[in-house]
Amino acid sequence: MKIYFSGSIRGGQQDVEIYHEIIEELKQYGTVLTEHIGTKIKKNNMTDQEIHDRDMNWVIESDVLVAEVSTPSLGVGYEIGRALDMKKPIICLYRSINGKTTSAMIRGCTDLQCFEYATLEEAKKILKNQLTH
């Protein structure tokens, strides 16, 4: 199985360790096409268009999209929207942070599987349940 993991990169660096742990868990179920999201941002020489085109090719190639949506991100929302258009299965994970929860546009979309978690262990159990069925 090819897994596209999506998480806020430019605005979500505070969550990079969480992304890393989720990616490590996802590797048990297949190939994670976007492993780099689990590391701190490093300067690269790619243009915005090159990043867009590479990532869209990965979304097309993927069998499932898993998104960590606790930190709002235009890019993550865009990827989810494109994956929805492609009829990809999509799993969204989120935490409530300082009393704030994720967007109603995500949680309210019946074509997405959305799950709240408080600990990484809960997130791993959710992924196991979703990816082994």
Binding-site residues for substrate sit at 4-10, 19, 79, 103-105
Q: What angle do CA 80, 11, 119 make, to 5 degrees?
A: 75
Known binding-site residues equal 4-10, 19, 79, 103-105
> 3-state class of 4 per DSSP?
strand
Phi, psi of 52 (to 5 degrees): -55, -50
Here the tokens at position 88 are: 């990809």
Between CA 132 and CA 120 the distance in angstroms is 18
Between CA 71 and CA 44 the distance in angstroms is 23
